[in-house]
Amino acid sequence: MIESPTGKVIVVDGGGNPGTDERLGRDPGNYVVVPYLRSRGISTVDLIVPTHPDEDHVQGLNAVVARLNVRAALDGGYPAASPAYQRLMTTLSRRHIPIHLARRPNRIDIGGGAFLEVLAPGETPIRGSHSATNNNSIVLRVVYDKARFLLTGDAEAEEEEEIMATAPDIGSDVLKAGHHGSRWSTSDAFLFRVHPTLAIISCGKNNLYNHPHREMLQRLARNNVRILRTDQNGGVIIETDGATIQVTPTIIDPGKRGSD
Ligand SMILES: [Zn+2]
């Protein structure tokens, strides 16, 4: 969730529990995202961004649309069959919520001098890659004065290469590592260009894919990037005045929690 200097709220992905139906209420949208937004007094979301149609990203956005007031959506337009994504698109059009197509190099004003840059997808989808849906993720850079944050969805090395070839500057202070810390994402070349001081890996505890992968953690370590992981550190809150950046993980010392 991004909150701009003028209070605009953007929700990029909503989590999900693949194989379950969010209409039963047992998904991160219903039990994490919506309660968190409500706890901050937020009832209106200015923009939702499904980075790509996979259930683990889109499902929770259905809860956001069902239970809060959503003004608009930014969509990659990649054809996909995931049931949660189809439900989302149906609800948006039934409610006449505008859906904007994300295309490089869109620049979206979010108020107070802050903006979102769309670094991907471009006009032509990436084909023949390791994963077509992942490699057509919406990739956003959030820019507020000197502070920059890169949100990569589930982009893998192929999409990272295209971004490096098309964007003049992708330098960022904080990198949301691609695809839950997969070995297929966050290449050495990409890390060199982004040059982050902090990487945040969004991954479930004891997940089926063994994310984050060791090779990828080693790449971050080699590049002296500090690592926070949602399976160990919980949610991560970052505040900036455009010059300095303050990082607050909700679980500061995971070791103290034991091995629950
Ligand atoms: Zn994913």
CA of 148 to the centre of ligand 1 (A): 22
Residue 30 has pLDDT above 60, yes or no: yes
Do 187 and 63 lie in one domain? The reply is no
**Residue 133 structure tokens:** 């849906």
Exposure string of 71-106, with b = 16+ CB inside 10 Å and e = fewer, is: ebbbbbebebebebbebbbeebeeeeeeeeebebeb
Does 214 share its domain with 200? Answer: yes
Same domain for 86 and 168? no
Q: How far does the centroid of ligand 1 lie from the alpha carbon of residue 51, in Å?
A: 9
Do 158 and 41 lie in one domain? The reply is no
* Cα 54 to ligand 1 centroid, rounded to whole Å: 7
Same domain, 159 and 77: no
Same domain, 96 and 39: yes
Of 236, 57, 196, 250, nearest to 138 (Cα)? Answer: 57
Give residue 259's pLDDT band: very low, low, confident or very high (50, 70, 90): very low
Helices 83-94, 55-67: inter-axial angle, 10-degree rounding: 30
- Which pTM does this prediction carry? 0.95
Same structural domain, 127 and 227? yes
The pLDDT assigned to 142 comes to: 98
Mean pLDDT over residues 251-259, rounded?
68
Tokens describing residue 103:
């295309």
What's the 176 CA to ligand 1 centre distance in angstroms?
12
| Closest to 121 in 3D by CA, of 82, 89, 152 | 152
- Give 186 Cα–ligand 1 centroid separation in angstroms: 14
Q: Does one domain contain both 83 and 135?
A: no
- Domain total in the chain: 2
Residue 74 falls inside a structural domain: yes
Position 171 in a domain: yes
* 248 located within any domain: yes
Which of 58, 84, 101 is where one domain is finished?
Answer: 101
Ligand 1 centroid – CA 212 distance (Å) = 12
Same domain, 25 and 10: yes
pLDDT greater than 80 at residue 260: no
| Residue range of the domain that includes 23 | 1-101
Residues 57 and 86 grouped into a single domain? yes
Asked if residue 133 and residue 204 are part of one domain, the reply reads yes
Query: 259 lies in a domain?
Result: no
* Cα–ligand 1 centroid distance for 128 (angstroms): 19
- Calculate how far, in angstroms, residue 155's C-alpha sits from the geometric centre of ligand 1: 9
Distance 99 CA to ligand 1 centre (A): 22
Tell whether 118 is covered by a domain. Answer: yes
Q: What spacing in Å lies between the alpha carbon of 25 and ligand 1's midpoint?
A: 20
State in Å: Cα 183 to ligand 1 middle: 13
Over residues 116-160, the pLDDT tens digits come to 999 999 999 999 999 999 999 999 999 999 999 999 999 999 999
pLDDT by residue (tens digit) across 185-237?
999 999 999 999 999 999 999 998 999 999 999 999 999 999 999 999 999 99
Do 117 and 206 belong to one domain? yes
Q: How far does the centroid of ligand 1 lie from the alpha carbon of residue 85, in Å?
A: 13
CATH code of residue 207: 3.60.15.10
Task: Give the model's pLDDT for residue 21.
Answer: 72
Q: Which of 223, 179, 221 is nearest to 201 (CA)?
A: 179
CA of 32 to the centre of ligand 1 (A): 17
* Domain end position, chosen among 69, 101, 133: 101
